[in-house]
Amino acid sequence: MRIKAIYERSIALQGNIANAVVDFSKHTVSLVAIVSDQVRNGKTVTGLAFNSIGRFAQGGIMRERMIPRLMQADPTSLLDASGLHFDLSRISANIMRDEKPGGHGDRAGAAAALELAFWDLNAKLADEPAYQHIAKTLEQTPITQGVPVYAAGGYYYPGESSRKLAEELKAYQDLGYRVFKIKIGGAELAEDLSRIETAIKVAGDTGAVAVDANGRFNPSTALAYGKELAAYKLRWYEEPGDPLDYTLLAELGEHYQGSIATGENLFSAADSHNLMRYAGLRPDKDILQMDPGLSYGLTEYQKILALTTAAGFHRTQCIPHGGHLINLHIVTALGLGGCEAYPGVFEPFGGYSTQCRVDNGRVMPSDAPGFGLEQKTELAPHIDHLLGI
Amino acid sequence: MRIKAIYERSIALQGNIANAVVDFSKHTVSLVAIVSDQVRNGKTVTGLAFNSIGRFAQGGIMRERMIPRLMQADPTSLLDASGLHFDLSRISANIMRDEKPGGHGDRAGAAAALELAFWDLNAKLADEPAYQHIAKTLEQTPITQGVPVYAAGGYYYPGESSRKLAEELKAYQDLGYRVFKIKIGGAELAEDLSRIETAIKVAGDTGAVAVDANGRFNPSTALAYGKELAAYKLRWYEEPGDPLDYTLLAELGEHYQGSIATGENLFSAADSHNLMRYAGLRPDKDILQMDPGLSYGLTEYQKILALTTAAGFHRTQCIPHGGHLINLHIVTALGLGGCEAYPGVFEPFGGYSTQCRVDNGRVMPSDAPGFGLEQKTELAPHIDHLLGI
């Protein structure tokens, strides 16, 4: 078995929103296809994936560094002992050949898109959904009754914030969501508290509302917000300051008794190790959001999980950033704590296919082979285009 | 004043060496030109720079994200109050528009190449060497008698290690170098100690020999080497383990009484802040090697210097990674501790032009405007090619 071709294409994210730090309409994502020489049911078996959501496409790094390494490798050196599947440790090592340690940024997304496409390919070779294939390969017991999913959004509506926010969250309820995450820090504290009260009223439970500061607070503002947020007993308080400011997280954790969520902007096991060492996070309450699609893929994410487990965190404390089909399969396979979704934004990558019904706050992958990206109607035309169909 | 065009090109590094972690012959560098609409002495004023040495070219990130941001900006929004120079804070903010915090990797090199080219352009607009222009702009007193420079190399020569190593270092002495850095960790400890003794014999002074482990040791090996190295009172012991493993550095610092050097694989102020907080480095002896050309450029490097100064480190403890003309001007302008050089490798970017004579362990920039990259004979044809000359 060998790789016949690797295709990648940069696709604009339909993020018709801004979070006051960045304008998502400028963001792009790399869609990747690994074309094998294998045929199943008369069709060439092709692995598909993308580098999650919220950063940028990485065509340059893939084309100039990583794809040539994969194409120049001895094909058998990339396979497992049976020769029937690609060996993901070998694939990962090959993608990273001649890369130095440190500097875990854009290349982590480039490597992830490629690595995850091999997981999709392996699952399709076995003719099973990726969550089943991943669970089997990593000797895990997958979740079979659907995983918890929350709706992220909770935007600002200047002038008529409360009414429009309530409408937005009610629309998510109609779609089957029960837990919401809303933005904070884009208005004065008093207005943010009023928005939180609106969200709690719609959700019917303080524990069904999380807030996200998108890293915009300086330490004193982060602490001031924490003081006021504590009384609400929210689901969590996400990314108060710079993602690398572990000292800020440790200070906040000393004063804020609720859950803190962080990790979506840490892209490696080495950075996650420092988060475990220095941020004072509390294994019984804090939430870890590292995203395999931004962090070299599932091989590195297993190392991250080993570190967080060693630090005392149960897997259900891990709720990856990036609400899409790839993370749904990973969360389901590994028994993690849940998934996010940004209903109506971040197309064509964000959200789930109609075959993965969101019901009463849970979502379950379909039985399609691999990650089932072909079933997502918004994404399917881009896949056809990438493959020249 | 406005930008007429920005060109970039990926150029292979002539690194005919491997350091056991990576094969440098596969590495590339981005050469960048910012073409202005200004004319001096009948020639279009063009800023030139590159993203240091030792990582990769970043054409994709520049073409897809950063160059469009610069070209789409209102030209006057990029200038200082006088309108005569580009305002580097504004340039930096523009290059990073819509980029999220965290993930300081490849994009830090892409941003640096562009930002540094604007420093070259500003210096040429003022018709002065970059070191003078940088010192004036940042209100610093430049070093005028040349800065300390050391020769890095000290490779392995299987079978005849000691004799060949002595020959290599003597050749550096003939070129004017007095301090050497040699590799360790590529052989057994006993052989490495014998190589260190050879180097000390050639240098004539234990303080004139540094050793570099290139991040390859696990914590116990790093400590074991530290124990044996202590007796030699070497110039420094560089990058024992993973660059993000601050705990390892702190442990080593508790036992190893000599200088530790690190930082070349940290690419941001946020990461440098964590190095200051957690690595237990000692301001009176340890060496900081953060490299502006891999770290978003000189604007971010000033933030890094502010952090290291606040942590008690004198500027002479800062000896940036990357032995080339850009860092020579920065070290000279800011009064840092010195420069490195890899004589004979890493062409066309590595090392200095003949106008910057290396003499008795010191090197001084020439009087050419900007960084003087045009004077470097190995680089000049690539510049002409980039500019279509």
Q: State whether residue B321 sits within 8 Å of chain A by CB.
A: no
DSSP string, A203-225: HTSGGGEEEE-TT---HHHHHHH
Residue of B nearest to A18 (CA): B98
Do the chains contact at B105 and A101, CB–CB below 8 Å? no
**pLDDT more than 70, % of chain B:** 98
Q: What is the pLDDT of residue A385?
A: 97
pLDDT digits (tens, 9 = 90+) for A28-59: 999 999 999 999 989 999 999 999 999 999 99
Which one of B23, B98, B102 has the shortest CB-CB distance to A26? B98
Do the chains contact at B278 and A278, CB–CB below 8 Å? yes
Rounded Cα–Cα distance for residues B23 and A383 (Å): 35
Do the chains contact at B244 and A102, CB–CB below 8 Å? yes
CB < 8 Å to B270, chain A: 242, 244-245
Which one of A57, A65, A247 has the shortest CB-CB distance to B64? A57
Q: Tokens standing for A161?
A: 């914030």
CB < 8 Å to B247, chain A: 277
Do the chains contact at B64 and A10, CB–CB below 8 Å? yes
Which pLDDT tens digits describe chain A residue by residue (389 residues)? 999 999 999 999 886 665 545 677 789 999 999 999 999 989 999 999 999 999 999 999 999 999 999 999 999 999 999 999 999 999 999 999 999 999 999 999 999 999 999 999 999 999 999 999 999 999 999 999 999 999 999 988 877 778 999 999 999 999 999 999 999 998 999 999 999 999 999 999 999 999 999 999 999 999 999 999 999 999 999 999 999 999 999 999 999 999 999 999 999 999 999 999 999 999 999 999 999 999 999 999 999 999 999 999 999 999 999 999 999 999 999 999 999 999 888 999 999 999 998 999 999 999 999 999 999 999 999 999 999 98
Do the chains contact at A60 and B55, CB–CB below 8 Å? no
Residue of A nearest to B262 (CA): A102
Residue of A nearest to B69 (CA): A26
Q: Which of B133, B181, B183, B376 is catalytic?
A: B183
A 265-304 → B contacts, CB under 8 A: 265-268, 270-271, 273-274, 277-278, 294
**pLDDT more than 90, % of chain B:** 91
Which one of A55, A64, A99 has the shortest CB-CB distance to B60? A64
A104, A247, A262, A307: best to mutate for the B interface, most B CBs within 10 A: A104
Do the chains contact at A58 and B60, CB–CB below 8 Å? yes
Do the chains contact at B101 and A215, CB–CB below 8 Å? yes
Q: State whether residue A43 sits within 8 Å of chain B by CB.
A: no
Q: State whether residue B27 sits within 8 Å of chain A by CB.
A: yes
Rounded Cα–Cα distance for residues A101 and A110 (Å): 16
Closest CA to B356 of B348, B347, B365: B365
Residue of B nearest to A11 (CA): B64
pLDDT digits (tens, 9 = 90+) for B69-88: 999 999 999 999 999 999 99
Q: What is the pLDDT of residue B22?
A: 63
CB < 8 Å to A63, chain B: 60
**Contact A135/A141 with Cβ under 8 angstroms?**
yes
CB < 8 Å to A21, chain B: 100-101
Give B96 or A27, the one with higher predicted confidence.
B96
Q: Which of A321, A324, A376, A382 is catalytic?
A: A321
Q: What is the pLDDT of residue A344?
A: 85
CB < 8 Å to B242, chain A: 101-102, 270
Mean pLDDT on B333-352: 94
For the question of residue B321 being annotated catalytic, the response is: yes
Q: State whether residue B101 sits within 8 Å of chain A by CB.
A: yes
Do the chains contact at A101 and B21, CB–CB below 8 Å? yes
Do the chains contact at B55 and A104, CB–CB below 8 Å? no
Do the chains contact at A270 and B242, CB–CB below 8 Å? yes
Torsion of CA B265, B268, B272, B274, to 10 degrees: -100
A20-33 CB burial, b ≥16 within 10 A, e <16: ebbebebbbbbbbb
| Chain A nearest C-alpha distance from B278 (Å) | 8
Tell me phi and psi for residue A339, to 5 degrees.
Answer: -130, 160
Which pLDDT band, with edges at 50, 70 and 90, does B67 fall under? very high
The residues, any chain, with a CB within 8 Å of residue B250's CB and separated by 6 or more, are B278, B279, B280
DSSP string, A179-193: -EEEE-SSS-HHHHH
**Contact B290/B318 with Cβ under 8 angstroms?**
yes
Rounded Cα–Cα distance for residues A305 and A286 (Å): 14
Q: What is the pLDDT of residue B157?
A: 84
Q: What is the pLDDT of residue A44?
A: 97
Q: Which of B321, B324, B329, B382 is catalytic?
A: B321
**Contact B325/B355 with Cβ under 8 angstroms?**
no
Do the chains contact at A101 and B215, CB–CB below 8 Å? yes
Q: What is the pLDDT of residue B177?
A: 97
Kindly provide the ipTM of the predicted complex, given to two decimals: 0.96
Q: In whole numbers, what is the pLDDT of chain A averaged over residues?
A: 95
Q: What is the pLDDT of residue A18?
A: 55
Q: Tokens standing for A319?
A: 């709720």
Residue of B nearest to A59 (CA): B60
